[in-house]
Amino acid sequence: MDRIRIRGGNTLNGTIPISGAKNAALPLMIASLLTDDTLTLENVPHLADVEQLIRILGNHGVDYTVSGKRVSSTPGHGRTIHFTARTIVDTTAPYELVSKMRASFWVIGPLLARMHKAKVSLPGGCAIGTRPVDLFIDGLRALGATLEIEAGYIVAEAKGGLVGNRFVFPKVSVGATHVLMMAASLANGETILENAAREPEIVDLATCLNAMGAKISGAGTKTITIEGVTALSGARHRVLPDRIETGTYAMAVAMTGGDVVLEGTNAALLETAFTALRAAGAEVSSVANGIRIVRNGSGVHPVDVVTDPFPGFPTDLQAQFMALMTRSSGVSLITETIFENRFMHVQELARLGAKISLSGQVARVEGVGRLAGAPVMATDLRASVSLVIAGLVAEGDTTVNRVYHLDRGFERLEEKLSACGAEVERISG
Ligand code: UD1
């Protein structure tokens, strides 16, 4: 299994290109199931999760080409991929595939909408809490589907097709909003989703669905209205920049000091995180080709953050911000409100010398003068990159094991950091 070795102590200077957003690419790819026409997606990141979803979609009958070639022969990044679900050959998403990635469960929406039936394994994914699927079940039932759980599968049916309705999410869910938006696009009549997720990735999916002929308004607000249509067509859509990758590298620079331009991204995608970074002492500014992050050696100020659905502080940046706070000049409180078990990085950061105590959903981080390199274990996608950030300033070598978590969500991480002066290398095997 690959490992990443980091020798800490270098500042970061230069330019880091930001990839297309994983969390937008996945639902966009799944939207290809809604039409027998070709959906072309540009700026698709080269990530393990994307490859895994390509396999899952292939199982349903989605064909894909990359600039005219089969995807496996093109190891590049920022690819343009053409997805065509001419015929849905299978409406079952098996356990072996779905258990590896939670988002693959989302195929249930398009399959039900187009084929009026689906059998989808209950999901797996990052071990960051119980992550139930009740909101998907209730929402799809509101659109007229019957859903039963049988032997680890959800068996769903909508005889005669889905029917538009009003559904109020009792809790904000990104995935359930994606799924209901896709399903309602092909439902009979109007659907109104209240208390919908407002993440930029929701807006990106709505923009793409509208380009395919859907009638969606209000995406990015709490109320989304979808006027069902009888069929969707193909479209061409560019995946928006990855705000979590953007925030991660911004925090890395705030940690090491230096001057880096994050290319091809924009500050509007993560204002709350940048407010916290500025309070911590980093300079963040918009430049022509992206965002510039500067921190001179003036130290990191302690800042409290609370994770919240967009536009709040993203849970997907909580671990990275905690890594930064381990070097602050005081005490910071980090509160996780989205997932109940998203502090697995705490014990690994402690191995590097961090002082963190947990009380329920709150982590109390007491800044320390120095971190010391050590072998650590990646436990989930975002937690693992927080260990990389800490390793960038830890004295000596930090080795991050179980790097496959990183490969699920960060494209060419070691290459991007090395180009800015970090000593980071991948050790194979
Ligand atoms: C998405 C993101 C993930 C991010 C999360 C929150 C993708 C591929 N993943 O995950 O990176 O951390 O949003 O911003 O886009 N919940 C229920 N019942 C449900 C569904 C969700 O109780 O049926 C709960 C979850 O357990 C969690 C909260 O709602 O506590 C938010 O989860 P949700 O927004 O659905 O996360 P994902 O879409 O899985």
Q: Do domains 3-18+241-427 and 22-238 have the same CATH topology?
A: yes
CA gap 386, 391 in Å, rounded: 9
Q: What is the residue with the minimal CA distance to atom 32 of ligand 1? A: 173
Break the chain into its structural domains and give their ranges.
3-18+241-427, 22-238
What is the Å distance from ligand 1's center to 175 Cα? 6
Output the ligand 1 site: residues, CB below 6 A.
Answer: 23, 26, 102-103, 129, 131-136, 171, 173-176, 315-316, 338-339
Q: Is the pTM of this model over 0.85?
A: yes
According to DSSP, the residues that pair with 193 across neighbouring strands are 167, 224
Q: Which of 31, 33, 120, 126 is catalytic?
A: 126
End-to-end CA, the chain: 5
Indicate the burial class of 133 (C-beta count within 10 angstroms; 0-12, 13-18, 19 or more): buried
Class of domain 3-18+241-427: alpha beta
Find the radius of gyration of the CA atoms of the chain.
21
Tens digits of pLDDT across the chain (429 residues)? 889 999 999 999 999 999 999 999 999 999 999 999 999 999 999 998 999 999 999 999 999 999 755 554 444 457 999 999 999 999 999 998 888 888 999 999 999 999 999 999 988 544 444 568 999 999 999 999 999 999 889 999 999 999 999 999 999 999 999 999 999 999 999 999 999 999 999 999 999 999 999 999 999 999 999 999 999 999 999 999 999 999 999 999 999 999 999 999 999 999 999 999 999 999 999 999 999 999 987 789 999 999 999 999 999 999 999 999 999 999 999 999 998 878 999 999 999 999 999 999 999 999 998 999 999 988 888 889 999 999 999 999 999 998 888 888 899 999 999 999 999 999 987
CATH of domain 22-238: 3.65.10.10
Write the DSSP string, 101-147. -GGGGGGHHHHHHHHSEEEEEPP----SS----HHHHHHHHHTT-EE
Closest ligand 1 atom to Cα of 174? 34
Which residue, among 229, 135, 137, has the nearest Cα to 185 in the 3D structure?
A: 229
| 3 state SS of 358 | strand
What are the start-end ranges of the E strands in 247-298?
258-263, 283-287, 290-295
